[in-house]
Structure formats: C-alpha cells, structure tokens
Structure 1
Amino acid sequence: MRSTDPSPAGAESSQAAILLAAVEAMEGTLAVAEALVAERRAVDLTGLEGEIGRLCAACLAAPRAMAPALRLRLESLLRAHDRLRAALAPP
C-alpha cells in the first residue's frame, strides 16, 4: 500500500504528478490525431478542444513552481492543435 503525504508539499507533489500525466496523455492523443490526419482520416477536434480547455484550467491551479515547465508543454500542445486545424482546413 502506498502512503500519502498529507502536508501541503505532498499535496502539491501529487497535484503536479497528476497534471503532468494529463498533459502527457493529451500529447499522446494529439500525436494519434496527427497520424490519423496524415492518413487522410477524419478527426473531430471538438472533443480535443474541450479537453485542452479543461487542462488549461487545471494548470491555472498548479503550484507556482510548475509554471515554466507547464507553459512549455502547453505551448507545444497549442502548436500541435494548430497543425491539426490547418491540416483539416478546406483547401
């Protein structure tokens, strides 16, 4: 059984781990979506946009020390999303 640290530092560490895991999952989802688009398969960005919005909202509550790393990761997600939008745009 894993012990939990009830201290504020333990809570921040746990929150950071969960948030980073969510960012990594979204990176994976966007990579799959990009691969599908490259194969000329249909992709609906509506669900992805909602998830990215929730992820951004969660990042606002992240520990201040995480801000620089999260910013870089979120900027990368935004670039991937923009690539998808451009690839799906009608010619």
Structure 2
Amino acid sequence: MAQIKVFGRSDVWAGRQAEVSDALQAALVAAWGLPPEKRFHRFLLSDADDVVVPGRGPARPPAGPSAGASATSSCSPTGSTSDISAVRPPGPHR
C-alpha cells in the first residue's frame, strides 16, 4: 500500500479531499497497479498564515522607511541580525 501525504493550505484544499483522493488513487492504480481498495491518503492542511509561499503567503508590510516595520530577523544563536529581504531572489514573482 502506498502512503500519500498531501500538504497545503486549508483555504485552498478544504472540502476537496475526496476529489483529490479519488484522482490520486486512480493514478496509483493505473501507473503502479495498486489494488483499488488499498488507499491511505493523509491531508495535512494548514492555515494560510502558517504557509509562506512567495506571492501567495501572508501579506507583507509595505516596504520603505515609512512602513514602520523592520525587515530584519535575529534568528542567529549569536544574536546577530540579518536582512530577510536578501533571501528573496530578484526578478518577477508569481
């Protein structure tokens, strides 16, 4: 039996578990020859604020000096801060 885990945002996938599970199972039966009655699918859905995806994650505060929020994070055990805006690659984002 194949164990399938589906990760996603609850506001996108909630209520569609049966539809997605049926599609996954049909693909597994056709491609791998699994018995149709052997189905083990887990849907691990998170709130939108718990999933950060460029362009689809939680809203960012406006950039610039008047934004009132700092773009730094002190995640280092040494207490140093780093500019999190440098993490995002340049160019258009979807």
TM range (shorter): under 0.3
Higher helix share: 1
Name which one, 1 or 2, has greater alpha-carbon Rg.
Answer: 2
Higher strand share: 2
TM-score by length of 1: 0.24
Query: Could you say which structure has the greater relative contact order, defined with CA pairs below 8 angstroms and 6 or more residues apart?
Result: 1
TM-score by length of 2: 0.24
